[in-house]
Chains A and B, each alone.
Chain A
Amino acid sequence: MDEGFQINGIRIDATFAEAFDMKATRLVVTAEDHYWVSAAAAAMTGFGTSVIGCGIEIAVERELAPAHTPDGRPGVAILAFTVSGKDMEKQISRRAGQCILTCPTTALYAGIEETDPKSDKRIPLGKSLRYFGDGHQISKMIRGRRYWRIPVMDGEFVCDHEVPRIDGIGGGNFIMLGNSTRAVSTACRAAVDAIRPLQGSITPFPGGATRSGSKVGSKYPALSASTNDAFCPTLRTCATSSELMRDESVGMEIVIDGLSDEAIATAMRAGIEAACHADTEGGLLRITAGNYGGKLGRHHFHLAEILK
């Protein structure tokens, strides 16, 4: 194993995170107040941690002040990533219909600027939700952008006709290893807190982190992914490929999806630096990254380059 380098006494491996191409989009949800915005966003982004089992990776990108939303109400920007365009259509349509349309006072808008020329990669919003209006829905064009006004029990649900789909990147990551759960958890939270305000990236796992990092494949043919045994402390003695060092008994991973290489690199840099400077009382020992030997994805984020 290469030596790597250190930040604040914490070893950074000379390795890279391997990320791959995904389909992405951004949605803006607004509501009368923060209570309903949070409720809608929580429902919309629920069960959206990994494409492996959820079909989508989706999370709140950032909160939006009323001055920055289309209708001048409080809102959030949500980023969504899927493997295919079809998955994106299916997931967004269902979630918009069941999680946003249902939530009192909400409205749903496209968060991606229109491209010139207009991209034909579109994800339907009102285009499919309008039928809920049972013929009473109203279509309105403002500056070439079509909106739908669907009558609901608290008035009207307003949404964009569709949202452009763009290319994104999924699977940026770094793994924090330490000698205590408390220390790694503290580092994890510091990292997520540092990433949260950044634009163009999300950390879709619960609280922004996962303890069940995975490798590709399994001894069970039906599974496409299984536990990353190389970083499981309880398998240190029996897994032949364990990458854990002495004293490393806890590992947690932050997975980052972003709209560009730059967005992921920025988020990884902010997260790693925050983790290294968190008050872990010496419990955080090493930071590494997950990759598949460079065979799975074409986006490689070398820790040394990101942090130099």
Chain B
Amino acid sequence: MNSWLLELRNEVNQDVDASPLTLLDLAACHDADQVNRIQLRCGDQTRDVGELFSVSKSTAKNELRICGNLKRFHRLGIQHRVGRIVVEGDVGHYAGAMMSGGELLVSGSAGDFLAAPVDAYRSGMSAGRIRVHGSVGHYAGHRLRRGEIVVEGSAGDFLASHTIAGTIVVAGDVVGNCGYAMRRGTLILNALPTTSRTRFSPPIESQSPFFALLAKELSAADKTQPYQAFACKKASQLVEQIADQGYQSIRGDFAVGGQGEIISPG
């Protein structure tokens, strides 16, 4: 399987549907010409990858690396299931939508609906790992089924809404309505959000060896390539603090009969 490096030639001012840039399709391309001919919807037009990116083969294993400001590139990594997609820069909406495996690493920030379902689908990310070194927009982790999302920066509204399982760590600030209608899953924050007592339980203090396992995994990943460049140190420290000193958690959302957990250091 071939790995590719795509470098954005010029900033794009129109919305681009990046869903054709799947790692598996690109891995099947034998030469740069094949990659260059992949077509992307760009506003009302269709443009070749070669027009937007300079394409070269990469020596990395099973990886697609895209460099540049991809803020207008949406649906990148949709249904990604194996290998690693690395974005050196920002990425648009629906990044990692409905991922079912593999990894998505973003050195900048991600738009709205990170890992969420698209169109009429009901399930978001079901496995894999997403790391965002910057911040994420609204509805990050919407309808998350499983998998791990680590955000070094802050998150917008409706973080982890309708989650069914999975783990989300956000080291920065969180706006409102996080955990809305969550049924299961774990949301780790640096402080408990203000929530309605009819929807979430009062905070309880506890300790679990599980967070030591999670902390170990996060810090071990930070030390390996290519994670070093995307290390979410604040997020790792947050989980380590929870592992060492215990945590306080609230459970809910009772409005949907949920028993998800929102956790912060005790």
Contacts and interface: CB of A to CB of B under 8 A. Distances in A.
A138 B127 contact: no
A141 B213 CA distance: 11
Interface stretch (A68-76, A166-174, A180-188, A200-208): A68-76
Given A70-B216, A72-B216, A136-B259, A141 B209 contact: no
B184 interface: yes
Interface string A133-148: 0001011111100010
A176 interface: no
B207 A158 contact: no
B236 interface: no
B243 to A, nearest CB: 8
| Residue of B210, B217, B259, B261 contacting most chain A CB atoms (<10 Å) | B210
Interface residues of A, number: 18
Contact of A141 (B127, B206, B216, B261): B127
B209 A30 contact: yes
A138 B183 CA distance: 12
Interface string A142-161: 11000101000001101000
A33 to B, nearest CB: 13
B28 to A, nearest CB: 24
Given A138-B186, A139-B165, A141-B146, A155 B206 contact: yes
A147 B210 contact: yes
B209 A71 contact: yes
Interface in B204-252: 206-210, 212-214, 216-217, 243
How many chain B residues sit at the interface, stated as a range, is 20 to 34
Main secondary structure on chain B at its contact with chain A? mixed
B213 A142 contact: yes
| Residue of B165, B208, B259 contacting most chain A CB atoms (<10 Å) | B208
B165 A142 contact: no
Contacts of A143: 217
A155 B205 CA distance: 9
A107 interface: yes
| Residue of B184, B208, B209, B212 contacting most chain A CB atoms (<10 Å) | B209
A141 B126 CA distance: 11
A142 B219 CA distance: 13
B135 interface: no
Contacts of B212: 70-73
Given A72-B216, A138-B186, A149 B210 contact: yes
Contact of B207 (A30, A139, A155): A155
Contact of A158 (B186, B209, B259): B209
Contacts of A138: 184, 186, 261
B100 interface: no
Contact of B208 (A139, A142, A155): A155
Contacts of B147: 141
B167 interface: yes
A147 B146 CA distance: 13
A35 B248 CA distance: 27
B226 to A, nearest CB: 16
Contacts of A140: 167, 186, 210, 214
Interface of B: 127, 146-148, 165, 167, 184, 186, 206-210, 212-214, 216-217, 243, 259, 261
Interface of A: 30, 70-73, 107, 136, 138-143, 147, 149, 155-156, 158
